[in-house]
Structure 1
Amino acid sequence: MTWVVLFCAIGIEVCATLALRASDGFRRKVWIAPVVLGYLASFYLLWLTLSLGLPVGIAYGVWTACGVALVAVVARYLFGDPLTVKMLVGIGFIVAGVLVIELASAAH
């Protein structure tokens, strides 16, 4: 249950960040509500994840790392943002780091 809540927080945070990009610096007013509500919902779900017992270092690390990786990939397809080989290598390191954190936490 804890991981489901965390992954929901990640998904909502990614959508809010993409909406922030779509807002063009809040010049496109229609995107303000999805940004604000998305971040509020994501932080609430992150708080819920912590209250369910996941350590903050693991929860926050996974939340931010997955968010960065997903936003970079999805923004490439939605907005044509750059996604270079070096960036993909960095995303690979992020994924590896999240896996190490998860494996290390499971060992304890």
Structure 2
Amino acid sequence: MPYLLLALAIAAEVSATVSLKLSDGFSKLVPSIVVVAGYGVAFVALAAVLKAGLPVGVAYALWAAIGVAAVALIGVLFLKEPINLTMIGGLVLVIAGVTLIELGAAK
């Protein structure tokens, strides 16, 4: 159950972050509402994940890595943001770092 809640937290945070870009400085109503609601859901879900016993380091590492990768991918695919090999390398390193945190926490 904690990982399902973490998935909800990540999805809400990614939706809120993308909507932040789409809100155009909070000048567009619907994306602005998604920003506030998305971050609210994300933090409530993350709090439930931590209450359920998932270690904070593991939960936050997964949240951060998956969130960064998802927002970057959405930016490239839908918002026409540029990407290059250096950025791809950085994303690979973030994911590798979280994998190492997960492996270390499993011991």
Q: Distance in 2 between matches of 1:45 and 1:30?
A: 22
* Alpha-carbon distance, 1:12 to partner: 1.1
* Alpha-carbon distance, 1:96 to partner: 0.7
Aligned to 1:93: 93
Deviations 1:36-73 (A, max 9, x none): 00000000010000000011111112111211111011
Q: Distance in 2 between matches of 1:96 and 1:3?
A: 19
Q: What aligned pairs does 1:5-16 form with structure 2 within 5 A after superposition?
A: 5-16=5-16
Give the residue type in structure 2 aligned to 1:44.
V
Alignment pair present for 1:36 and 2:75: no
Given that residues 9 and 42 in structure 1 are in contact (C-alpha distance below 8 angstroms), is that contact kept between their aligned partners in structure 2? yes
Aligned to 2:53: 53
Give the residue type in structure 2 aligned to 1:53.
G
Deviations 1:19-46 (A, max 9, x none): 1111111122221111100000000010
Bigger mean CA deviation after superposition, 55-64 or 30-39 = 55-64
Gap runs ≥5 in structure 2: none
Q: Distance in 1 between matches of 2:101 and 2:18?
A: 26
TM-score by length of 2: 0.94
Aligned residues: 107
Aligned to 1:73: 73
Gap runs ≥5 in structure 1: none
Question: Cα RMSD over matched residues?
Answer: 1.0
Q: Distance in 2 between matches of 1:51 and 1:79?
A: 36
Give the residue type in structure 2 aligned to 1:26.
F
Secondary structure class of the residue paired with 1:27: coil
Aligned to 1:24: 24
Aligned to 1:84: 84
Runs of 4+ residues over 2 Å off in structure 1: none
Q: Percent same amino acid at aligned positions?
A: 42
Give the residue type in structure 2 aligned to 1:27.
S
